[in-house]
Every structure is written in C-alpha cells, then in structure tokens.
Chains A and B, each alone.
Chain A
C-alpha cells in the first residue's frame, strides 16, 4: 500500500460524508480513479452508508402521532407569561 493509498484510506469517511474541501476531494478522487483496489474499498463503504440509510428510512411515524402533532400545531395558545 503506497502513501497515496494510505492517505486516501484515512480520508475515506470524510470523503464519503462529503466533508472534505474541494481540493481534498479532487486529490482523493484522482487517486480512486487511478487505484482500483482503493476504489473498491470506497465503493463498498459508500454502499454500506447507503444501506444503513435505506434500511432505516422505512419506518414512518404512525398516523395517530402525525394527527396529534398536527393538532398541536393548530392550537392557538394564549401568549406565554
């Protein structure tokens, strides 16, 4: 594993999370384009992130909770104090 690989792997999380500066993004991207093994690791970790999101987004709030919140928002309370 070369220096570039190591640097890229260290930045992989922040790259996946879109937390890097543009300059850094360019560096990481350039390396990934050049280095299939690193690119594969990136692909897998990015897919894992997508998987977590996808699996967890299936639970919607129950209708009665939704109604309750809507009612709460519709209340016209007296001014506080």
Chain B
C-alpha cells in the first residue's frame, strides 16, 4: 500500500504553488494575481515543502475512523477534490497542538500551513470514511518530527526514565490531608492550572506528542499508535511516563508545599 519512492520523489520535485504565510503574508484577493495558489513559492518554503513530502514515506490514510467511537467525526468523507471543509474544521486542534510541539506561535503557524499544504496536495489519497482528524495529525506529526531531525531543539530535555511520581501520592506522603480535599481544591490551591502549558512543553517530544494526542485531542491509543507509527504498548508507556513527568514539573513549579487552605468537608 506504500506509495512508490519514485512517485513521492516526483511529487517532491513539483514546486508548491503556495507561498507560506508566516514568512510573507499574502494579501488575499488584492492585487489582481487571482487566488493564493497563483503565487509561486520560492526559497525556504520550497525546500521545506519538498522536505515535507520526503518526510512522509508511509501511507497517511491508514487511520480508520471509529476505534471506540471517539473522533468518528464524519463518515461521508471527501471525494476527489470535493469537501476540503472536512479538513478545515480541525484547524484549531492542529494549531493548539502545533503550539505545544513547537512552543512558538510563528513556528506553529508554519507547521499548520505545511500540514494543510500536504493535505491539499494529497487530498485524493484520503480514504473517505476514515478519520480525517487522525489523517491530518499523521501529516503534522511527521512534518514536525522531520523538522526536528534536521534542527534538533537544543533545549530539549533528556528523557529520564524511572522517576515514578504523582502529585496525589506525593501530597499524601507529605502528610497533607488530601482525603479531605477535592481534586479541584488541590489543583486550585497549588496553582497547578497556570503552569500546565509550560510543563507540557518541557516534556521530551515523544512523551509530549502522546500526551497531547491522548489528553488534549482525545485520540484513542490505537489511533495514536497509528498516527505516530508506534506500538500501542509504547503509546501507553509514554503516556504513563509523560503524565508522571508533567505532574512532577507542576509539583516543582508550585514550589514547596504550602499549608492547605483546608476547606474541610468539601467532599
């Protein structure tokens, strides 16, 4: 089912006809050149788009809709060049995840653009009736991983295995009356909410991707395994470690344990 290398290569050699917006905003509908696609891309945008094509050497449309029923957005699918709006509707999900992956708004925007460029170019390969959100995330995570390989983020933390940690357990061991507090109270009390994004963005990429896909985007383990091309067991272990690492960071950010505000009897 794989596309042939030659086919991918041919596609890669074709110049993308869209200029990427973040580098050089296009005045849509102004200046007479017609649609966006009339604008020829040059330089980095071309090289990046070509890299994107090379990055995805495995079929994208393999993620079945359904699983356990979540993310089964729409069974009608898109036909040949028809309904791009099926893809458009996931822009917020793609963007917020891109933001967690790249950590920078301009890079996130760029990543989402490249994702849609590819989705547009290969829209005929999307299998109607399969999960288009998973398809888009497959494209995006591939583009992202490929970029990272070329330009590793130097500040990327080292994955330290074997650090079992969870906040609840830690508080209990610290002798705090967690049994008298609701989860919401604990979270508000310690200000965990304010630092979630920061904590998440500091996780090693493999864990971060899994936590984002499962916890934020609500994909099933099976879907994540397919999106990232890893085993379900790997999804589960990364998720487990990712959550622990996230809680550890939240715990550290929140500073030393304060006296609880003791809203006794709230449960």
Contact = CB atoms under 8 A, between A and B. Distances in A.
Contacts of A52: 196, 200, 211, 215-216, 246
A13 B212 contact: no
Contact of A68 (B21, B187, B221): B21
Interface residues of A, number: 43
A78 B109 CA distance: 27
A22 B243 CA distance: 25
Given A55-B193, A60-B96, A65-B95, A74 B112 contact: no
B55 interface: no
A74 to B, nearest CB: 7
B236 interface: yes
Given A69-B116, A71-B35, A61 B94 contact: yes
Interface of A: 13-14, 17-19, 36-37, 40-41, 43-49, 51-62, 64-77, 80
Contacts of A76: 81
Q: Chain B binding site: helix, strand, loop or mixed by DSSP?
A: helix
A52 B99 CA distance: 14
Q: Give the size category of B's interface with A.
A: 35 or more
B28 interface: yes
Question: Chain A's interface: helix, strand, loop or mixed, by majority?
Answer: helix
Given A37-B179, A52-B211, 9 more contacts: A17-B220, A41-B169, A47-B184, A52-B215, A52-B246, A56-B216, A59-B96, A65-B21, A75-B36
A57 B105 CA distance: 15
22 contacts: A13-B240, A43-B183, A44-B167, A48-B243, A51-B196, A52-B196, A53-B216, A56-B212, A57-B96, A58-B96, A61-B94, A61-B95, A62-B109, A68-B28, A72-B18, A72-B37, A72-B117, A72-B120, A73-B88, A75-B37, A77-B37, A77-B81
